[in-house]
Structure 1
Amino acid sequence: MDTIALSHEEEVVKWVHNIRDELLRTFYNNFKEVDNFLVDIIKCTTPKEYIEVEKTFMKPDALMKPGKIPTSLNNLKTKVDSACYFSSVFLTKWAGETIRPILEVLLNRVKTTALKYERISAEHKEMLDEYFNLETKFADSKLENEKIVEDLEIRIRKLEVEVLAKEQIKSKNDEIVTNLENRIRNLEADIIAKEQIILEKNEINNNLWGKIKVLEEKKGTANG
């Protein structure tokens, strides 16, 4: 994820938390004075008394008019104490009336945002179309680049194989050359050894011929 996308995500999370806290504070703030209402409500012993008290607290445009009690609480067979019963009815309706404006604010924001988005989309349709075209071109270019990279990788692998083969050939040639050089050195050593033997034989022959010549000279002198 790039830095811009991460920044936007963090901004959205922060905004949601702030709005949530703001709306919850609004909701709970509406209950700050509720104990003043409950003081009168717990004194009620009949639905008629409760309805009269409720009229003094609920707004005229309340969703549930005085006397309209939630089905789950409007049970004639209930064994709950009247104070608890009417307090529950009141708190349920009070919570509903408290959350109504909060829901209206949220829905208004959602609708307003949607309308703004539609307006911006209409105003910048050409720009958005160009953006999507660029995205498409970028995707196509990415695929093409990936194909080029893949082709290059294949060529590189082939070159590596060729280089390896040439290195192996060179290694074999070097080995052959080394063997030939060793054989030449061995032959040179043999030649030198044989030449030495020949020299030694020649020296022996020369010595023998010298001795023979001396003997012949002595023999000639004796005969004369």
Structure 2
Amino acid sequence: MPGSSSDRPALARGAGQRLLVVAGDSDVAELLCATLELAGYRIVAVKAAVDGVARLTRERFDLVVVDATLPDVTELGRTRPTPAHRPPVLLLIDYESLGRIEPELGLGERDYVTKPFRVADVLTRVQLMLRGTGAGPVRSGTVGYRDLVLDDTLCEARRGARTLDLTPAEYRLLRHLLVNTHRVLSKEQIGRYVWGDHRGDNAIEQLVSRLRRKVDQDAPELIHTRRGFGYWLGRADEV
């Protein structure tokens, strides 16, 4: 059970980084704060996005965890921290609201965990965002993982020194996998992101197969199949 004593030895992942938790539900806030503190982070918690804005304008945080279902969450879009102070944001969001995840929050890199969330998923995403081992901005306009880099300004992808010749659909698929590093994406999620609707399984399997041949010419393999669930990108030895 998440938060049980059997989980605790694996929670010590932080190194004293400061996290701002923005959650109105007291049970959710208590679970997040207790878990993240046990994991080695220093936590500041507020109940409303407007209070989060106030803290961000006068304090530095390494990461912000936000309940995206808060009624005033758009207030975060009105703050513009200085370029040197743009903490990444982890959104806690309902699956049905994923299509509305795009509005700018005025902060840094974004990731999400769907609600109801598992504590282990939150810890994993926090760790990856803080350590930079998952997808994140390599420079302005790019996302990357190890030697695999996608440049949105040029619509170009590279693996090491090799440029990948991708179709628009392959490019969109690779981007979706990169910003969800180490997270399994279902065929339905992939279809809706790449084409705007759910295509047949065969079309998605063929698309993934074509992309895998282009990306994984170089070792180690980065695109993997989780049979019965979907596909994910990352180093298998880092899972």
* TM-score, with structure 1 as normaliser: 0.21
- The structure showing larger relative contact order (alpha-carbon pairs under 8 Å, at least 6 residues apart) is 1
- Structure with the larger strand share: 2
- Structure with the larger helix share: 1
